[in-house]
């Protein structure tokens, strides 16, 4: 058995800019991507998000804290917050990130294959996705 003993991943990697994220993002490898399958805990600062990308084997996101969104190329928007589960289909182009007013932490489980990174999410696309998020029914009002 191995334990990190303090609830944190062994290695916290900060990303600023580059070709995968916009804004400041912290990633922790919880299960290394051996055989293409792996688990990461990722924390996005407010307004931070991934570039457009696709996972050839698909992905499962589990919201841990804060508020964010997952957006696909067809314009679909799914909120992500504590307890939310969002599945991405194999090969589906998408991005995920935090809303401007909150951090967001999720667990990312990638289901085999590789991640292909595409272009940056523009400010206009980010703003449009936030608008669609605001138009969704508020799940906290469901009974």
The residues that touch Mn ion, with contacts defined as CB under 5 A, are 59
Rounded Cα distance between 138 and 90, Å, is 28
Query: Are 64 and 41 within 8 A, CB to CB?
Result: yes
Nearer to Mn ion, 50 or 140 (CB): 50
Residue nearest to Mn ion (CB): 59
Residue whose entry in the numeric block shows the structure tokens 């703003």 = 127
> How far is Cα 10 from Cα 15, in angstroms, rounded to an integer?
16
Q: How far is the CB of 16 from Mn ion (least distance, A)?
A: 19
Residue among 59 and 109 whose Cβ is closer to Mn ion: 59
- In contact, 104 and 98? CB cutoff 8 Å: yes
Nearer to Mn ion, 3 or 22 (CB): 22
Name the DSSP letter for residue 101.
Answer: T
Shortest Cβ 6–Mn ion spacing (Å):
27
For Mn ion, the closer CB: 14 or 89: 89
Q: Are 87 and 13 in contact (CB under 8 A)?
A: no
Question: Toward Mn ion, which CB reaches closer, 39 or 140?
Answer: 39
Q: Give the single-character DSSP code of 51.
A: P
**Shortest separation between residue 106's beta carbon and Mn ion, angstroms:** 10
Residue 124 and residue 132: Cα distance in Å, rounded?
A: 12
CB of 141 to Mn ion, least distance (A): 28
Given the structure tokens 């969002």, which residue do they identify?
A: 86
């Amino acid at each position: 058995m191995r334990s990190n003993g303090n609830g944190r991943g062994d290695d916290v990697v900060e990303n600023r800019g580059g070709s995968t994220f916009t804004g400041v993002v912290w990633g922790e490898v919880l299960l290394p991507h051996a055989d293409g399958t792996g688990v990461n805990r990722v924390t996005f600062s407010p307004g931070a998000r991934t570039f457009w990308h696709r996972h050839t084997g698909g992905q499962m996101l589990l919201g841990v804290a804060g508020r964010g969104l997952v957006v696909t190329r067809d314009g679909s928007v799914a909120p992500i917050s504590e307890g939310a589960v969002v599945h991405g289909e194999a090969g589906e182009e998408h991005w995920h990130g935090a809303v401007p007013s909150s951090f967001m932490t999720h667990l990312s489980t990638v289901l085999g294959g590789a991640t292909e990174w595409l272009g940056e999410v523009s400010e206009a696309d980010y703003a449009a996705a936030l608008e669609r998020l605001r138009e969704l029914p508020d799940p906290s009002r469901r009974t």
